[in-house]
Amino acid sequence: MENTNYLAEEKIGVLMKKYAVPCIISLLVAALYNIVDQIFIANASYLGSYGNAANTVVFPLTVIALAIAVMIGDGCCALVSLSLGRDEPETASKGVGNAVVLSVIGGILLCLIYLAAQEPIIRMFGGTVNEETFRQSKEYFFYITLGIPFYMFGQAMNPVIRSDGSPKFAMVSTLAGAAANIVLDPVFIFVFKWGMMGAAVATVAGQVLTAGLAIGYLCNTKTIKISKKDFTISTKITKRMMMLGLCSFLSQISLVAAMAAINNMIRKYGAMDEIFSQEQFAQIPMAVVGIVMKFFQIVISIVVGMAAGCIPIVGFNMGAGLTDRVKKLFTMLLVCEGAVGTIAFLIVELMPKQLIAIFGAANESVYYTQFAVHSFRIYLCLIIFACINKAAFIFLQAMGKAAASTLLSMIREIVFGVGFALLLPVFFGLDGVLYSMPVSDLLTFIASAAVIILTYRQFNEAKITEAA
């Protein structure tokens, strides 16, 4: 078994770079699956904003799959790191075996549920905005659903591979899948003219490749040695793993609830708008907000990747009782996340037209571009707070503070995210949907700041205790 003491001895900055950068790239690439689909769809004249709207409708379904996958994967990653820090290798290997079984079973079950309830699900996420959007949503939905088991397995195993001390392999396996998607998308959409089916099949092909590479790695792990008995489900291990991954699950699944609320409010209040009540423009608000969310997803992938990459470092040092190193890492992480948020803010405020041009604005009406610029500038005006909030949630989870992490995540996504998405449009119409994001992030930041201050006090108290 490989020595993991370097997690307690190496410089914090070096460790953060080693673990966070591959994790950021992995999550960015994972996010690019859907985003690349949307870019090619938007620039195909025979799909356009209808295809974009269909992509937005189906996107939450992949987020549900991702939520379950990251709960298993991040929970296992945190369990493995804490176990290795406490010199409990058997618990670590058992956690990996259980994670493999849970991700396989979860992927198959979710695929079957989606296939059985296709039309009601599409309606739930606003796919009935007009007939063409509904038709393209069904086509994209079916083929994406067939890839769900592979997608969930690959995403769940990614953090598990990182916890085994191989962040670069985790990155490469995700990159390989995304590269396949990028190559196949234009072939299937522009050459074969397969439309939404082509975009979905290209995505699934990439997911199958990533899953295959993960299986290959699990047969040759570096630090954790897995045996057949580790694949027997342990209620104790599973419960502990799920609790450690609960924050990751809630941060994703609650996003789905917010997206459902937002999509339906867009459909409802768009029908009351002078322009978007017209049949030929009805899909524009949903397509545009979906694009804004995709940019936000890119930023959050960097933010979450940076924080999630620190999970093995935090878990090991917490398990070893080295709280001073954990405090230093937390400070470094918050500074970096604030910098990412600042850069993102400048981009959305100064370059919204350039962003929307990537998603086929040249093929659309002037209303498409106008609403997109307006949406970017309002919806993401407090993105810096969103970045710091996410970092705090994940870091607390890595420290083993699942309750605080989960509570903050629930407040942000369910209480504020869904609540304001439903409430503000009553007073501000379509603009109310856009205001729901910055208002939610501001109020959550106030709560996060209080928890961050309390966490620093606990670090200081722990240092005093160690010195006594």
Per-residue pLDDT tens digits for 144-170: 999 999 999 999 999 899 888 888 898
5 in a structural domain: no
User: What is d(CA 364, CA 157) in angstroms, rounded to the nearest whole number?
Assistant: 40
328 in a structural domain: yes
Output the pTM of the full model: 0.77
Q: What is the CA radius of gyration of the chain?
A: 22
- pLDDT tens digits, 36-57: 888 898 888 888 788 888 988 8
User: Percent of the chain having pLDDT more than 90?
Assistant: 50
376 in a structural domain: yes
78 in a structural domain: yes
User: What is d(CA 211, CA 65) in angstroms, rounded to the nearest whole number?
Assistant: 14
312 in a structural domain: yes
User: What is d(CA 153, CA 30) in angstroms, rounded to the nearest whole number?
Assistant: 13
Structural domain of 379: 10-467
451 in a structural domain: yes
Query: In this predicted structure, what is the pLDDT of residue 113?
Result: 97
- pLDDT tens digits, 326-377: 899 999 999 999 999 999 999 999 999 998 888 776 778 889 899 999 999 9
347 in a structural domain: yes
Query: In this predicted structure, what is the pLDDT of residue 1?
Result: 43
Higher pLDDT, 84 or 248: 84
4 in a structural domain: no
> Looking at the predicted structure, is the pLDDT value of residue 389 above 90?
yes
Give the closest residue to 32 by CA, choosing from 211, 142, 154, 181: 181
Average pLDDT score over residue span 283-301: 88
- pLDDT tens digits, 445-454: 999 999 999 9
Average pLDDT score over residue span 178-207: 95
Query: In this predicted structure, what is the pLDDT of residue 381?
Result: 96
**CA–CA distances in Å: residue 258 to residues 165, 222, 433, 455:** 35, 40, 10, 29
The total domain count for the chain is: 1
